[in-house]
């Protein structure tokens, strides 16, 4: 019986990996029912598992961010919605409360603006310190995919500002209230990063013809390459760092920014609940998984599929040097 169970689990892992490598099957809504039926599918986080825990979610007014905040609140967490548009944030908070979420707070922050990040972090950390409350997690979900090259108020290419600089600085500044509580930080990335190699030599996308989708994928590649760096940096604070990618999900960001892709894949796009599942699961599963890595459908996945996207330590060091210089992190 033990041999049979081991064989079944090995076959299950092989099938799961085959779905992942196929991309179309693994990233679409077709994968969910198959993977959930496999013996290797992890158990759900039990109801109430996050009761009393405080978790911040950026970009929480729509799509994956809104779904993530809702899922965390359903598990009992106090969801802190970190948003650019407070009015929209209040609408989301009201809908979450109507659905049964009792603890929801709104905070304003433009993640791509480092001055806004500093102001938010100062207010947020002070409020937590005053009450002796601990922050248990941050989900970095806020995103941008401009068609033309845009710069942040500090002069940085926008996708790198929103997806890398802002989140790293925010986490660093919130370490005083995040540390020593088995904190968890999740960067919501994209499977599109598989098509790009790390461009530590040109993080601002100043060379060549700018393309929004390429810039987006480059910034998501940068997130994934930094996960290990950040996990080691924040390990002393007992903070674990992960990246998750949601697969192909039907969100406003997809339909508005890449309408051609959305139109072609519409029949197989995942719903936002399916896309947010792994992020919510990582925030609540016990014991806390080992820090680092890229996760999709509740399993750690390879970060490269083709040799020409592989990244060396020197490139990661160069990227971190740029991030630390741009954010002022020593």
Residues in CB range of 245: below 8 A, 6 or more apart: 188, 189, 190, 191, 193, 294, 295, 296, 301
State whether residue 154 is helix, strand or coil.
Answer: coil
Instruction: Give the strand pairing for 299-301 and 294-296.
Output: antiparallel
Chain mean position to CA 318: 22
Using CB atoms within 10 Å of the CB of residue 121, give its burial: 0 to 12 exposed, 13 to 18 middle, 19+ buried. buried
In angstroms, the CA 90 to CA 85 distance is: 9
Residue in 27, 194, 210, 216 annotated catalytic: 216
Token code pair at residue 241: 């760092």
- Tokens representing 215? 């810039």
Cα dihedral sign for 42, 139, 292, 125? Answer: negative
Q: Report the run of H or E that residue 210 belongs to, with start and end.
A: none
305 is catalytic: no
Q: Catalytic positions, please?
A: 216
């Amino acid at each position: 019986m033990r041999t049979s169970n081991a064989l079944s689990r090995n076959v299950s892992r092989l099938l799961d990996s085959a779905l992942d490598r196929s991309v179309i099957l693994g990233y679409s809504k077709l994968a969910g029912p198959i993977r959930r039926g496999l013996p290797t599918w992890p158990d759900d986080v039990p109801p109430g598992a996050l009761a009393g825990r405080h978790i911040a979610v950026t970009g929480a007014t729509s799509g994956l961010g809104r779904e993530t905040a809702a899922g965390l609140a359903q598990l009992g967490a106090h969801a802190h919605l970190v948003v650019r548009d407070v009015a929209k944030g209040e609408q989301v908070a009201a809908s979450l409360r109507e659905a049964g979420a009792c603890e929801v707070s709104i905070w304003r922050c433009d993640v791509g603006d480092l001055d806004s990040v500093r102001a938010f972090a100062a207010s947020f950390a002070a409020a937590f310190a005053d009450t002796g409350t601990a922050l248990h997690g941050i989900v970095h979900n806020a995103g941008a995919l401009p068609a033309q090259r845009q710069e942040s108020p500090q002069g940085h290419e926008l996708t790198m500002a929103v997806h890398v600089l802002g989140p790293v600085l925010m986490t660093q500044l919130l370490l005083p209230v995040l540390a020593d509580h088995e904190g968890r930080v999740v960067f919501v990335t994209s499977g599109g990063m598989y098509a790009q190699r790390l461009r530590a030599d040109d993080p601002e996308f100043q060379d060549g013809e700018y393309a929004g989708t390429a810039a987006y994928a480059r910034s998501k590649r940068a997130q994934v390459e930094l996960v290990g760096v950040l996990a080691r940096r924040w390990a002393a604070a007992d903070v674990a760092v992960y990246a998750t990618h949601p697969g192909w999900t039907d969100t406003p960001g997809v339909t508005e920014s890449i309408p051609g892709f959305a139109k072609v894949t519409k029949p197989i796009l995942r719903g936002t609940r399916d896309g947010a599942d792994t992020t919510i699961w990582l925030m609540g599963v016990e014991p806390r998984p080992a820090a680092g890595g890229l996760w999709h459908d509740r399993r750690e996945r390879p970060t490269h599929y083709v040799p020409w996207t592989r990244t060396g330590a020197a490139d990661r060091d160069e990227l971190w040097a740029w991030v630390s210089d741009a954010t002022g992190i020593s």
